[in-house]
Homo-oligomer: A and B are copies of this chain.
Amino acid sequence: MSFNSFGHLFRVTTWGESHGPALGATVDGCPPGIALSAGDIQPWLDRRKPGQNRFTTQRREADEVEILSGVYEGKTTGTPIQLMIRNTDQRSKDYSEISKTFRPGHADITYHQKYGIRDPRGGGRSSARETAARVAAGGIARRVLAQLMPGLRVTGYMVQMGPRLIDRSRFEWDSIDDNPFWSPDAETAGLWADDLDALRKTGNSVGAVIEVTARGVPAGIGAPVYAKLDSELAAAMMTINAVKGVEIGAGFGAAALTGVENADEISMGEDGQVYGSNHAGGVLGGISSGQDVVVRFAVKPTSSILTPRGSVTVDGENTEVVTKGRHDPCVGIRAVPVGEAMMVCVLLDQLLLHRAQMGDTVRGHIG
């Protein structure tokens, strides 16, 4: 048990607060002999970095990662890798006001209730800034998976912002990197831009749904009953700030289907079995089937908004809270690389667990 760790064998422990001197991740259990430098990790951090465009917070953080241990002459040694990111843009300001009220819908009040103390500077430990450490750890996982799961491609993208969904008939993998919303549907991305501009002007925010697809996952990853791949993914995604729901494959939509509709029929193709559909999202009985692993998660609108909302003070007085400062109007945008990072960390961890029990054996082809 560790409150701030995830993964069983590829084990990541994150630490640090939004406005402390630094934050980071201790990554234990990494296989040795993997070529790794800060330069391999930095590009993933840059994708998540604030201030990239007008739709994300204007906080300016370099988010430069340093490797403090676990690498010798450019290769991992099998010992723990310490990743550190210094916080550089901590505006000195007076937190006395903030520390006395609770933003509605924010962790302010529950931290206070649990611990009797909280770090109010930028949200402290509850800030989404913590996710930088995950993305850095994900950068390591990607390096390892490049060797151990060579055909793997993990891609996150936004499929809904507010009430507006993408049109799946316009889905283009290549569009994802070409717009500030990681949208696979360029046309919807344009509409979202208008939506978000309007929201920002009114001091409001909005929710989103992110989908992460892993292509090239071999069959057999995951395990019954409480180490199911989908359970691990659900836990992982639900730890991301502001996430309120997770689904696999058809997800909540499966509730409305019949068994005849939902069955992913199987037949023999040229290179082994093929499936007629993927309602399962690539996971059957907690174990990967070889189909694409498809996970979606819902991100609520940030509670840090300019519109006043009713709240209470630590002393039990009614008040109104307005959150000034540099906040993301749609935190879902920057959650995309975080969701990808969680996916790669879970896949690597589950692959190591699989190797433990099964050795290097991989069975995929039926017959």
Contacts and interface: CB of A to CB of B under 8 A. Distances in A.
Interface stretch (A65-73, A149-157, A178-186): A65-73
Nearest to A83: B15
Interface stretch (A41-49, A50-58, A168-176, A285-293): A285-293
Interface in A305-345: 305, 307, 309-318, 332
Given A113-B289, A264-B105, A68 B16 contact: yes
Contact of A262 (B207, B272, B364): B207
A109 interface: yes
A299 interface: yes
Interface in A199-241: 199, 204-209, 219-228, 230-232, 234-239
Most central of A104, A222, A311 by chain B CB within 10 Å:
A104
A312 B245 CA distance: 34
A106 B275 CA distance: 13
Contacts of A72: 17, 117-119, 121, 124
Interface string A59-89: 0000000101110100101111110100000
B258 A301 contact: yes
B353 A355 contact: no
Interface string A106-125: 11011111111111010011
Contacts of A205: 258-259
Given A28-B2, A267-B318, A15 B68 contact: yes
Interface residues of A, number: 163
A357 B31 contact: yes
A138 to B, nearest CB: 14
B79 A17 contact: yes
Contacts of A226: 2-6, 14, 239
Nearest to A134: B225
A236 to B, nearest CB: 8
B356 A207 contact: no
A141 interface: no
A142 interface: no
A98 interface: no
Given A284-B107, A312-B273, A33 B263 contact: no
Contacts of A360: 359-360
A230 B238 contact: yes
A111 to B, nearest CB: 6
Contacts of A256: 160, 162-163, 207
A265 interface: yes
A224 B107 contact: yes
A13 interface: yes
Contacts of A365: 316
16 contacts: A1-B29, A5-B28, A15-B26, A31-B357, A32-B115, A109-B273, A110-B284, A113-B287, A114-B354, A162-B258, A247-B247, A254-B300, A259-B307, A316-B365, A355-B356, A359-B359
Given A207-B255, A245-B247, 8 more contacts: A3-B224, A15-B81, A17-B69, A17-B72, A29-B356, A244-B248, A262-B303, A265-B311
